[in-house]
Structure 1
Amino acid sequence: MREFAFVRPTNVEQAVELVTGDPDAAYLAGGTTLVDLMKDGVLRPRRVVDIARLPLREVIRTDHAVTVGALTTMEELAAEPVLAERAPVLREALLAGASTQLRNMATIGGNLLQRARCRYFRDPSVRACNKRSPGSGCAAVDESARMHAILGAGESCIALHASDLAVALVALDAVVHLQGTTGTRRVPLTEFYRVPGSTPERENVLEHGQLITAVEIPLPAAGTASGYLKIRDRASYEFALVSAAAVLEIRDGVIHDARMGLGGVGTIPWRAPTAESLLRGARPGTGVFRAAAASAIRDTFTVPGTAFKVALARRTIERALSTVSGGTP
């Protein structure tokens, strides 16, 4: 790790100005991602701007939404009583996403911005990584890959977005609040992330220096069922092979609204609109769940190490829908 300047701003505006004006500056919040990448030599900022003490931990509750400051920790959000009642999918994703120690350090904003868990990206001795060095190639496509994406992937990059939290937030239509030097803006989380395409180094719509200040989480209507299913190699702290966040509003035996987010399969937290369309207006059951799962996992890009995820993802979606709907009749 090379030497760097350490700065602790006193307000959000000052923090944004410091980072925006310095292309070699980076924000430090909980540190659970940045510090690791700095130790590995993947990220080498010359200035670290510590925002951990800024007033961005407020949680505002209304009947229809919860707005969470970006520096709220994962553990603090998981402890919100309203989530257990109105959005268990989010609480389950938070608890599945990290150990208790990490949840007490990791922030909501930082979790949404965590970098790819591709081992080639995180190893500077590997030359071929378009995300780290644009135009160099993608080692994961040509070498061993397992914890990689099959949706939104291509020859340029198959790195996976590993956040459990983001998958649930995508399904809940969350909105991120951003602060820049020219003011604030709100961006739906479904529009925040970028698939790799020809620019794998661009992972989201943030410009350098812009800061997530809060996440606005709409609460599902009373009586809506939701849940998060995570399939992994071991039950303890581990990233998802496949995960599914399902939100179903069922009235009089008919699915009136359906929302689904997928993890472990996408280069970004993946929304499944075609599956949602098939579910709306249908009665819960094996047939419609299977059709929804098939529609969600198509147009895939696989390599030998990830081909197994196609069938696994479809089974995971079916199981998640069956569980959330209360069991298949």
Structure 2
Amino acid sequence: MRRFRITCAPTLAAIPFAMPLAMLLSMATAVPAHAQLGRLKKMGAEAAKKAAEEKVTGKKDAASGTSGSDATSSAGEASGATAARTTVSYVLSGDRIDLVLAALTPRVEDAEKRQAAKKIRREWAVKDSTNRACLEKQTRQGADPMAIVAAMEKNKAALERLQAQQIPLTKRLNEAASKQDMRTMRFVQDTLQTIQMRQAALSVGASCAFDFTPPVLIEADLATNGMSGDHDADAGSFDPPASVKAELTTVQFGRLRERIALWAMLQETPGIKVGKEGVFTEEEQAALTARAANIRKLTPLFRGNALRWSDWGDVKSWK
């Protein structure tokens, strides 16, 4: 990052704003915290999925037949005697598909809200990236120190207002931190950062616009990541009805949901890679096709994982 030294005598009252300028400008290229957490969360979800599967089956599943829908596992006795074999079936029969779809229906509304938030996030990311690139370009071109002085004099009143706004906000942030009020902290931090970015832009005479993060995105981040991103806020939140628990194990439900989601997405994009779970027998194809109208309604939510399917960490374990 380029630093500026003003060699003329600092006679302008706005000069103090130049002191933290380099620090403020460095924020223009900062990576959003939620983006840094994505890869770790994905790895954690995959590990949880594998652990849950092995807990039920006793060891890694072995594919049965060509459909990839059956898995057989065995647990050995400590004495080394021949273990009894238990077959865990992931075949998509009509009754099983109906059970899974009925269990998913109450979760559609929440999934639609998540999907809408993802759309807002994509739009916001483009806008925020454009603003940060604008400020970065302005500073990399090598601003004239005298032009900075002139810009600060021109924007003196606005800079002073922005500086004054930060005082009560900083106090509020400290109070929230002492109470461990994560929600208030996140909103105040966003407000402070936006004000500081506006301050940086005015200090170099840039016309870059910086807006506050849409509240729905902050709420979504808090719900998903908390403040650290080291936990799954949805863990165990999905408690299927008794009818499901009477017929299926936790892992069976998770795997059947996964296979239904893969089939749904294959109908729109036949070329996607789905692995053995996305191979279906003629009987399964017939059962799924007979329920295609209901499954198709869920496809957009499956596609973005707003209606979770790629792991079953959200499912409350029962057996």
TM-score (norm 1): 0.23
- Structure whose alpha-carbon radius of gyration is higher: 2
Larger relative contact order (C-alpha < 8 A, sep ≥ 6)? 2
In terms of fraction of residues, the more helix-rich structure is: 2
In terms of fraction of residues, the more strand-rich structure is: 1
TM-score (norm 2): 0.24
